[in-house]
A and B are shown apart, each in its own frame.
Chain A
Amino acid sequence: MSDNHEHFVIPLKYYVGTLIALLILTVVTVAVAQIDLGAFNIYLAMFVAMIKAGFVIFFFMGVRWDEGFNKIALFGSLLFVAIFFVIVLADVFSRDIIYSTENDVFNIKSPVKMIGDDS
């Protein structure tokens, strides 16, 4: 392990730049929310929030200059959050489909017929 490791001090311009960017983006997100874009609003708001989060993570938290594994840990955890989201939402919003579309979804004419049915 390297003994003469100097701590990296993040240049001031990154901090100030991040602060300004975050303040502007907050105003943007509030302004956009006043316009009714229907379902698109939420996606836009989340998009802006993610950019803001990116600024905080990379510059305030210093991930841009951080060790490799710390990055893997952080972004890896987001992968698991994504798994959680996608699977639970996929389940909740596809639960009733099988009953409303019964047979045509799986191309089963009648499940009873399929036993030993050659056709």
Chain B
Amino acid sequence: MSKEKQIDSLVDYGTTWLPGSYSTLSDIVDVQFNAILWLSVFGTLGITLVTLYFCLKYKRTQKNLVSKSQIDHNARIEIIWTVIPFIIVMGIFYWGFRDYLRLTVAPEDTMEIRVTGEKWRWYFEYPGTGKRPSDDLVVPVGQAVKLVMSSKDVLHSFYIPNFRLKRDVQPNRYSHIWFEATKIGTFQIFCTEYCGDQHSNMGANLIVMSKNDFEAWKEVGEDTETPLPILGKRLYKSKACNACHSIDGSNVIGPTWKNAYGANRELESGEVVLIDDNYIRESIVYPGKKIAKGYPNVMNSYAGLLSDREINALIEFIKTLKED
């Protein structure tokens, strides 16, 4: 996975059991987790110790061949060990439910961001701004954000471990989560609903910025300065082209890009075409039109998700992958 930006490590920060807690509500989840954790530790220890004690005390020996007593019920103790766990779990239920409502019900003044999942990438759109769909979820610190999420193909699940938030994303329906970040940094987003081959690579970065940085980021228009091949290389990763197309000649899901430019390609229809600028552009915008022989027709269209300059950048990048 990409290590370009320093992502806040899930393992190195936080406690032994939980990753760092960076939203206004993640702490309440941790409190409950730790409470039940310690309850479980003491409960398991208690049960284990009593069991081992009995094993030693009533071990079958020459002196202890027959049970001391055939006691087979004791109403008082049975009621105790039914009622006490009952009260405890009902308490936990109420606690969990109350926190669940806090996590689910968003406050009034949220900033809405649209989240779309598709095999196998996320992208984020900012309504009311001129921003193109972003590959990173960029949010300001200290501002309640509501995500309106949907999927383009199968079920996905949007998971931010540091915020203790997760929600399935479905086609044809919108699901919502909300949060308010408390720490500036870059954090991990996972897909946790199994969605196919590249499920484990369907991640994204959550970038929390100060409010000023965020306003500035919103204003940044299209990148017109980076040289095309370098921009293309960046897009290759950030637009998740790398999930299906290799640049080292190996076969993943789609055809490799290595030595592709200028070569001839046999199509499913039997036709042979030259891989040139037009073919690549068409394959990005209408991926289903000309399918390379032997590969599944699974690519989603990038129409509207890439600007003309970005498509050019990808073409230039593919050109650099040609060896002489």
Question: Does chain A have a CB within 8 A of B188?
Answer: no
Q: Are B101 and A102 in contact (CB under 8 A)?
A: no
Q: Are A112 and B24 in contact (CB under 8 A)?
A: yes
By a CB distance below 8 angstroms, the chain B residues around A112 are 24-25, 102, 107, 144, 180
Question: Does chain B have a CB within 8 A of A103?
Answer: yes
Contact of B102 among A98, A102, A111 (CB under 8 A): A111
Q: Give residues 85-140 of B contacting A (CB, 8 Å).
A: 101-108
Question: Does chain B have a CB within 8 A of A80?
Answer: no
By a CB distance below 8 angstroms, the chain A residues around B180 are 112
> What is the size, in residues, of chain B's interface with A at 8 Å between Cβ atoms?
14
By a CB distance below 8 angstroms, the chain A residues around B321 are none
Q: How large is the interface on A (under 10, 10 to 19, 20 to 34, 35 or more residues)?
A: 10 to 19
Q: In the complex, which residue of chain A has the Cβ closest to the Cβ of B109? A: A110
Digit string of B27-38 for contact with A (CB within 8 Å is 1, else 0)? 010000000000
Q: Nearest Cβ in chain A — how far from B95, in angstroms?
A: 13
Q: Nearest Cβ in chain B — how far from A2, in angstroms?
A: 34
Q: Are B104 and A98 in contact (CB under 8 A)?
A: yes
Digit string of A82-119 for contact with B (CB within 8 Å is 1, else 0)? 00000000000000001100110010101110110000
Q: In the complex, which residue of chain B has the Cβ closest to the Cβ of A106? A: B101
Q: In the complex, which residue of chain A has the Cβ closest to the Cβ of B24? A: A112
Cα A111 to Cα B101 in complex, Å, equals 8
Cα A106 to Cα B94 in complex, Å, equals 14
Q: Are A108 and B106 in contact (CB under 8 A)?
A: no
By a CB distance below 8 angstroms, the chain A residues around B28 are 115
Q: Nearest Cβ in chain A — how far from B235, in angstroms?
A: 35
Question: Does chain A have a CB within 8 A of B176?
Answer: yes
Contact of B107 among A98, A99, A111, A115 (CB under 8 A): A111
Query: What would 7 more interface pairs be, CB under 8 Å, given A108-B102, A110-B107, A111-B107?
Result: A103-B105, A106-B101, A106-B105, A110-B108, A111-B103, A114-B102, A115-B28
Residues of chain B touching chain A, judged by Cβ–Cβ distance below 8 Å, are 24-25, 28, 101-108, 144, 176, 180
29 CB < 8 A contacts A-B: A98-B104, A98-B105, A102-B105, A102-B106, A103-B105, A103-B108, A106-B101, A106-B105, A108-B101, A108-B102, A108-B105, A110-B107, A110-B108, A111-B25, A111-B101, A111-B102, A111-B103, A111-B106, A111-B107, A112-B24, A112-B25, A112-B102, A112-B107, A112-B144, A112-B180, A115-B24, A115-B25, A115-B28, A115-B102
Instruction: List 9 tightest A-B contacts by C-beta distance, closest first.
Output: A111-B102, A110-B107, A111-B105, A106-B101, A112-B107, A108-B105, A102-B105, A112-B24, A108-B101
